[in-house]
Amino acid sequence: MIPFFRLPTNPIVLLLFLVLLVLATMDWLLVRSPEVPPEYVGSWVSGITRLDIREDGIVTYRTGEWPVSKSVGGRLTKIEPDRLTYRVMYIPKHLHIDVAPHPKDDMWVMTVEGKELWRIP
């Protein structure tokens, strides 16, 4: 039986692998997300686009269909009026907020990356 994943046998490659694993774990544990305003928390959808923002600051964004799709996610580091900033490992990434969350027709609406998203109740 062939295992799905094998650790490298070269000591230098193994050391590099372990260092990267420790750095990723430290980044995940040490970075604290800001308090997420309640109007941002939830699952936002529109057609083939979905944005999930959790209370603990985890953000995932998916749009498009295979083979042309975009899927990103990470820990939220900053909420500004015009963008959400999150980190993947140590690299900051941004989602542009065109229109902040606001009520419309008894539902919450937000426009992100040019797409109008509705929050799932």
Q: Is 87 in a helix, a strand, or coil?
A: strand
pLDDT single digits (tens) 22-75 = 877 776 666 667 788 899 999 999 988 999 999 988 899 998 877 878 888 888
Burial of 44 (0-12, 13-18, 19+ CB in 10 A): buried
Give residue for tokens 């750095």. Answer: 23
1 pLDDT more than 60: no
- Domain edges within the chain: 42-119
pLDDT single digits (tens) 76-120 = 888 888 998 888 777 888 999 999 999 998 999 999 989 999 999
Residue 44 CA, chain-centre distance (Å), reads 13
